[in-house]
């Protein structure tokens, strides 16, 4: 069939208009045909490895739809007998190399491999099964990595590198030995992973999953001596319903409360309550810094993945981070302080469970800064997905549960606390409170406008005698851009809010995995609706927050408030091992280290290392040197970095390093001759 229309292609005999689609896959899916893929993700670069999206283009033969741009006049067939057979063979080969423990796999319900096998009608595997027994990586407090379930789609690799700019995992080896793993075969806990979990969100199988804490929670719920209380994050209320065939963004706070009581929780509270507390502490911290003109701009500290990212890559900016704990940890500290008296129980019998949209919150709760006298402020953290599984395990019909109110006093929150669940919410909440304090007016529904067209938004707010300028960032690659601008003195923002996940907490890796491309936007609308219908809009209006200051904290930023609600941060190395030896001369006395951490890697340190190895081979003093790859010199702003004995070389080049080596060799030889 020929097509002479300049703006269309023919897909299975039907014309489809070209309307800016980047590739045939997007265009064909627009026509209502869901071509299968493993390695394609619209937010990532094209990889083209799985070969499932093949189509037959007249005059060109079989092409990968993901990497073929549409061209007017194309005539395309999507499911010829040949293509169907190729797809079946591709999936069978994957299955032959896959750990087939499907019934016990944590991702069984959402496994793309399982659904594709059913979609393609695969009822047997015609290839020899490859038995593997690679140990699972359980080192991370947030994630579990199971190499035997990896299908090498590369989605996790590209998301970690392209969206988060970390590169904690990548492809290693070749051919049949090819695998996805952290650098140098280390465990996730030993490299620069920040636990954001977005690799889990894009993984189509059970190769990367959330590290579950439901067993610990069930055990606590089953102990009659333990009082188990829950805090539920704002973003959970607009997503949990998706696990029970409800629409994304539908607010189900009352159903969550009722369901958790039926699971055995003694009290159910709102993390938005402690978000109100965070607003007041952070706003007052900002106003003091603004008055003194020090440690500005202030970076928010609610997102633990961002905090660890800053500790790893931007230690020079740590004084700029707010010292406020996140709402999760503020709740834990406040509850451990007050609930034993309120509930008339012994403090050691109180068990606090946080229900979060985020996997990094698991690591945050385990940080030593949040452990007092051997007891964690938050005893367990479960994701939205984990809570959904607990509800399903009991057989509760979530959609039919009658809504119930949360418990007091920590169940009442304002709209300011609720909007913490979306990107920009923390900034707006702080701004509402700050403008009310500064000039007696409260701002709502602030419109942030694009700063760079690529992930950073900003707003300017005119006050009586000054102007406040705020920036909002989500995604760690964009966080890196913002931090670089601040370090270079090219940013004049007062407050910078950073969230690691797309859209903020509503897009956290602990949320339901959705095929609905508008799910995050719908959740955002749900958060905004909850804010708009709240009778209280500013954190300072919460009467129970006012009572806490009256009875315990006195005033925002007091010594009591700092002791309970604030913490500092420290620089963290990104790998456990100090260095990896790559070249060791017989008589080495000059030690060269090249940083290959992400900051330096992105500035070419790996190529620098390769060139140095090659250059040294031709030098008469090659036996005098030892070359190592190391992982952080805490000088990311001068990347790439090298060290020759005690001399650190920023913005290192081959010529700089060689000159420094020759000086060291010459000095040593002179000392020996003397």
Q: Return the number of other C-beta atoms located less than 10 Å from residue 498's C-beta.
A: 29
Res 376 pLDDT > 90: yes
Q: Read off the pLDDT band of 4 (50, 70, 90).
A: low
Q: What percent of the chain has pLDDT over 70?
A: 96
Residue 124 sits in a domain whose CATH number is: 3.30.70.20
Residues 6+ apart with CB under 8 A from 309: 166, 194, 476, 479, 500
Residue 29, pLDDT above cutoff 80: yes
Structure-token pair, residue 72: 């007017």
Q: Do 416 and 358 belong together in one domain? A: yes
Instruction: Identify whether 237 is part of a domain.
Output: yes
Beta pairing class for 75-77 and 8-11: parallel
| Paired strand residues for 497 | 472
Is 285 among the catalytic positions?
A: yes
pLDDT given at position 418: 94
**Which pairs count as long-range contacts for 651-655, CB under 8 Å and 24+ apart, including other chains?**
652/594, 652/605, 652/608, 653/608, 654/608, 654/611, 654/612, 654/615
Of these residues, 39, 111, 150, 302, which one is catalytic? Answer: 302
- Asked which of 156, 182, 210 is the last residue of a domain, the reply is 210
Query: Are 117 and 191 within one domain?
Result: yes
Give pLDDT tens digits for 307-344.
Answer: 999 999 999 999 999 999 999 999 999 999 999 999 99
Q: What is the mean pLDDT of residues 570-579?
A: 63
Instruction: Examine residue 278 and state whether it is found in any structural domain, yes or no.
Output: yes
In a domain, 573, yes or no: no
Is there a single domain that holds both residue 543 and residue 587? no
453 Cβ partners below 8 Å, 6+ apart?
none
pLDDT at 363 over 90: yes
Query: Does one domain contain both 62 and 140?
Result: no
Report yes or no on 159 lying in a domain.
yes
Give CA angle at 584 (580, 590), nearest 5°.
Answer: 95
- If asked whether residues 54 and 75 sit together in one domain, one would say yes
In which band, very low, low, confident or very high, does the pLDDT at 453 lie, cut at 50, 70 and 90? low
Are 482 and 490 contacting, i.e. CB atoms less than 8 angstroms apart?
Answer: no
Q: Which of 19, 82, 348, 369 is catalytic?
A: 369
CATH number for the domain harbouring residue 625? 3.40.30.10
pLDDT at 668: 75
On whether residue 571 sits in a domain, the answer given is: no
Which residue stretches of 102-252 are H helix? 112-119, 155-158, 198-202, 214-221
Active site residue 337: no
User: Do 51 and 177 belong to one domain?
Assistant: no
Question: Which residue among 213, 242, 285, 628 is the active-site one?
Answer: 285
**Whether 468 and 533 share a structural domain:** yes
361, 422, 593, 624: the active-site residue: 361
294 a catalytic residue? no
Is residue 356, in this structure, part of any structural domain at all?
yes
Domain hosting 421: range is 214-402+409-565
Tell me the pLDDT of the chain averaged across its residues.
90
Who wins on pLDDT, 132 or 31? 31
| pLDDT for 3 beyond 90 | no
Say whether both 260 and 204 belong to one domain: no
Number of domains the chain is built from:
4
Q: What is the CATH number of the domain that holds 31?
A: 3.10.20.740
Q: Is 503 left (phi over 0), alpha (psi -120 to 50) or beta?
A: left
What are the φ/ψ torsions at residue 296 (nearest 5 degrees)? Answer: -115, 150
Q: Is residue 3 part of a domain?
A: no
Question: Catalytic residue among 192, 213, 281, 282, which?
Answer: 282
* 633 part of a folded domain: yes
Number of DSSP helices (H) and strands (E) in the chain, helices first: 21, 25
For residue 409, whether the previous peptide bond is cis, meaning omega lies within 30 degrees of 0, is yes
Rounded to whole angstroms, the Cα distance separating 491 from 552 reads 38
Does the active-site annotation cover 213?
A: no
List Cα–Cα distances, 465 to 292, 453, 461, 462, in angstroms.
Answer: 16, 30, 11, 8
Residue of 274, 301, 322, 538 marked catalytic: 322
CA distance 592 to 88: 52
Query: Is 322 a catalytic site residue?
Result: yes
B/e letters for 516-538, b = 16+ CB within 10 Å, e = fewer, are eeebbebbbbbbbebbeebebbb
Which one of 540, 565, 590 terminates a domain? 565
Same domain, 461 and 596: no
Single out the residue in 164, 180, 210 at which a domain terminates: 210
Domain shared by 418 and 328, yes or no: yes
Are 74 and 38 in a shared domain? yes
Long-range contact set of residues 386-389: C-beta below 8 Å, sequence gap at least 24: 386/210, 386/212, 386/213, 386/214, 386/510, 387/236, 387/240, 387/256, 387/260, 387/355, 388/240, 388/243, 388/244, 388/512, 389/214
- The DSSP secondary-structure symbol of 403 reads P
- Kindly report, residue by residue over 86-135, the tens digit of the pLDDT: 999 988 988 888 888 888 888 888 888 888 888 889 888 888 888 788 99
Of 192, 364, 428, 628, the catalytic one is: 364
């Amino acid at each position: 069939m020929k097509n002479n229309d300049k703006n269309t292609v023919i897909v299975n005999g039907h014309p489809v208009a070209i309307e800016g689609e980047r590739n045939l896959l997007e265009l064909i899916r627009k026509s209502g045909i869901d071509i299968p893929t493993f390695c394609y993700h619209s937010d990532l670069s094209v990889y083209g490895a799985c070969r499932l999206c093949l189509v037959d283009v007249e005059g060109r033969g079989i092409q990968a739809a993901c990497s073929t741009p549409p061209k007017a006049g194309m005539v395309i067939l999507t499911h010829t007998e040949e293509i169907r057979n190729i797809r079946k063979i591709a999936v069978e080969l994957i299955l032959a190399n896959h750990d087939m423990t499907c019934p016990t796999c944590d991702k069984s319900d959402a496994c793309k491999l399982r659904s594709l096998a059913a979609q393609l009608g695969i009822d047997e595997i015609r290839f020899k099964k490859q038995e593997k027994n690679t140990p699972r990586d359980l080192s991370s407090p947030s994630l579990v990595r199971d190499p035997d379930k990896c299908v090498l789609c590369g989605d996790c690799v590209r998301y970690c590198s392209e969206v988060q700019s970390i590169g904690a995992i990548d492809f290693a080896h070749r051919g049949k030995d090819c695998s996805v793993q952290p650098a140098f075969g280390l465990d996730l806990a030993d490299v620069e992973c920040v636990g954001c979990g977005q690799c889990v969100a894009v993984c189509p199988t059970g190769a990367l999953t959330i590290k579950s804490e439901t067993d610990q929670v069930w055990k606590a719920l089953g102990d009659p001596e333990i009082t188990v209380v829950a805090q539920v994050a704002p973003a959970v209320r607009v997503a949990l319903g998706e696990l029970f065939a409800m629409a994304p963004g539908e607010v189900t706070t009352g159903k969550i409360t009722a369901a958790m009581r039926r699971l055995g929780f003694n009290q159910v509270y709102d993390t938005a309550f402690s978000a109100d507390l965070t607003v007041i502490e952070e706003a007052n911290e900002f106003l003091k810094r603004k008055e003194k003109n020090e440690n500005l701009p202030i970076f928010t500290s609610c997102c633990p993945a961002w905090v660890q990212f800053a500790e790893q890559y931007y230690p020079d900016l740590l004084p700029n981070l707010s010292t406020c704990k996140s709402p999760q940890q503020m709740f834990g500290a406040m509850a451990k302080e007050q609930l034993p008296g309120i509930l008339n129980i012994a403090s050691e019998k109180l068990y606090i469970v946080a229900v979060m949209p985020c996997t990094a919150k698991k690591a945050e709760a385990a940080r030593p800064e949040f452990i007092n006298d051997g007891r964690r402020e938050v005893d367990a953290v479960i994701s939205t997905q984990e809570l959904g599984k607990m509800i399903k395990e009991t057989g509760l019909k979530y959609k039919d549960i009658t809504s119930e109110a949360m418990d007091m006093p920590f169940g009442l929150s304002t709209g300011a606390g609720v909007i913490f669940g979306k990107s920009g919410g923390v900034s707006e909440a702080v701004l509402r409170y700050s403008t009310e304090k500064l000039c007696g007016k409260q701002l709502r529904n602030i419109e942030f406008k694009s700063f760079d067209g690529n992930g950073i938004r900003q707003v300017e707010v005119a006050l009586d005698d000054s102007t406040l300028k705020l920036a909002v960032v989500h995604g760690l690659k964009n966080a890196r851009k913002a931090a670089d601008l601040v370090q270079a003195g090219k940013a004049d923002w007062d407050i910078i809010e950073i969230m690691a996940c797309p859209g903020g907490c509503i897009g956290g890796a602990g949320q339901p995995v959705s095929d609905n491309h508008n799910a995050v936007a719908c959740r955002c609308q749900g958060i905004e609706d909850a804010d708009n219908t709240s009778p209280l809009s500013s954190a300072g209006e919460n009467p129970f927050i006012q009572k806490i200051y009256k009875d315990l904290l006195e005033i925002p930023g007091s010594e009591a408030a700092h002791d309970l609600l604030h913490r500092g941060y420290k620089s963290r190395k990104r790998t456990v091992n100090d260095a990896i030896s790559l070249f060791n001369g017989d008589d080495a006395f000059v030690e060269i280290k090249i940083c290959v951490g992400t900051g330096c890697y992105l500035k070419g340190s790996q190529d620098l290392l390769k060139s140095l190895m090659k250059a040294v081979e031709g030098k008469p003093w090659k036996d005098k040197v030892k070359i190592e790859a190391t992982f952080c010199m805490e000088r990311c702003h001068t990347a790439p970095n090298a060290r020759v004995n005690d001399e650190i070389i920023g913005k290192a080049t081959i010529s700089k390093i060689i000159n420094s080596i020759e000086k060291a060799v010459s000095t040593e030889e002179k000392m020996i001759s003397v």
